[in-house]
């Protein structure tokens, strides 16, 4: 009969040590992949909820509302030609020096009606009309503080100049001025301004759970379209992303593969 040799204590300890090292090396990657998958599922669910709310709002209104960014801007490029002492743009012109058309960024005639109709079709449990932090939202970064963290040599003028196209996403406006809504499932909708504007808004797909960062669980959206066709919910035109985060455009591509 063949003699069976038991493992020695030293061999057991060595084996457990190897297992522990392997686990320590692989677990962070596994957990990161799990978190990313969870966020993607939450993103997909939230996108479906907001898209359905917009579709229902259009049906309630009975017409295709004029409230969107052009899918393809018919006017061409524009540029800022004057900044004030704080670095904020005070005047934009077309590339040829002419004034911007009133609908350069898209029509806005029906934004108030569409915004009200969308809000009615969302299961909102709490609204903060300004001063949304900390009642409705966590301490989000703004496009200005993200710029500063990525380049600490920028002064206030440089930061304001870099973010003058989307000033309502500056940190002070997010925390103290913009309206915010909390949905029954915990998601947070950030308005771009003091009222809900369908053309630009952001959603934290898992609410206050964290990491509460742009491009991780907080994403910006915009309505896009053309005349007399239903609008669609697309990636935001301001593109606010914390370092290492994903753009809304990339998230939409990934969840729709």
pLDDT at residue 25, rounded to an integer: 62
Model confidence at 216: pLDDT above 80: yes
- Kindly list the distances between the CA atom of residue 42 and the CA atoms of 19, 135, 164, 185, 217, in Å, as whole numbers in the listed order: 33, 22, 31, 10, 9
What is the structure's pLDDT at 36? Answer: 80
Residue 20 lies in a domain: yes
> Residue 101 falls within a domain, yes or no?
no
Q: How far apart are CA 225 and CA 64, in angstroms?
A: 10
Q: Which has the higher per-residue pLDDT, 159 or 239?
A: 159
Give tens-digit pLDDT for 111-123.
999 999 999 999 9
pLDDT value at residue 18 = 65
pTM of the model: 0.86
Q: Report yes or no on 126 lying in a domain.
A: yes
Task: Identify whether 82 is part of a domain.
Answer: no
pLDDT band, residue 152 (cuts 50/70/90)? confident
- pLDDT of residue 75 exceeding 80, the answer is yes
Phi-psi region of 215 (alpha: psi -120 to 50; beta: other; left: phi over 0): left
Domain-located, residue 98: no
Residue 1, pLDDT above cutoff 90: no
Whether residue 184 has pLDDT greater than 70: yes
111-120 vs 9-61: helix crossing angle, rounded to 10: 130
d(CA 48, CA 233): 10
Mean pLDDT for 125-139 is: 96
Burial of 99 (0-12, 13-18, 19+ CB in 10 A): exposed
How far apart CA 42 and CA 219 sit, in angstroms, is 12
By CB atoms closer than 10 A (0-12, 13-18, 19+), residue 104 is middle
Domain contains 113:
yes
Structurally, how many domains does the chain consist of?
1
Domain-located, residue 83: no
State the Cα–Cα distance between residues 173 and 165, nearest whole angstrom.
14
The mean pLDDT of the chain is 90
Give the residue carrying structure tokens 């998958």.
37
> Do residues 89 and 80 touch, judged by C-beta distance below 8 A?
yes
Q: Is the pLDDT reported for residue 81 higher than 60?
A: yes
Distances (CA, A) of 221 to 9, 37, 46, 247, 249: 59, 20, 12, 10, 9
Are 230 and 58 in contact by the 8 Å Cβ rule? The answer is yes
Count of helix runs (H) and strand runs (E) in the chain: 6, 9
In a domain, 81, yes or no: no
Question: In this structure, what token pair is assigned to residue 22?
Answer: 């392997």
Q: Which domain holds residue 115?
A: 9-71+107-255
């Amino acid at each position: 009969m063949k003699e069976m040799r038991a493992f020695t204590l030293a061999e057991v300890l060595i084996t457990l040590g190897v297992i522990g090292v392997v686990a320590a090396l692989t677990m962070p990657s596994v957990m990161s992949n799990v978190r990313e998958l969870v966020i993607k599922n939450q993103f997909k669910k939230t996108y479906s909820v907001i898209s359905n709310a917009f579709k229902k709002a259009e049906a309630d209104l009975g017409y295709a509302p004029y409230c969107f960014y052009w899918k393809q801007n018919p006017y061409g490029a524009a540029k800022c030609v004057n900044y004030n002492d704080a670095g904020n743009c005070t005047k934009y012109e077309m590339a040829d020096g002419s004034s911007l058309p009133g609908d350069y960024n898209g029509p806005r005639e029906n934004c108030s009606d569409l915004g009200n109709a969308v809000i009615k079709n969302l299961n909102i449990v709490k609204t903060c009309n300004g001063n949304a932090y900390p009642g409705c939202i966590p301490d989000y970064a703004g496009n200005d503080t993200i710029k500063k963290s990525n380049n600490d040599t920028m002064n206030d003028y440089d930061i304001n100049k870099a973010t003058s196209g989307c000033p309502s996403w500056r940190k002070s406006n997010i925390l103290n001025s913009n309206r915010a809504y909390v949905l029954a499932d915990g998601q947070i909708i950030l308005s771009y301004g003091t009222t809900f504007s369908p053309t630009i808004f952001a959603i934290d797909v898992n609410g206050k759970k964290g990491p509460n960062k742009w491009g991780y669980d907080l994403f910006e959206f915009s309505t896009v379209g053309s005349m007399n066709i239903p609008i669609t919910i697309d990636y935001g035109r301001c593109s606010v992303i914390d370092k290492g985060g994903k753009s809304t455009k990339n998230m939409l591509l990934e969840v729709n593969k």
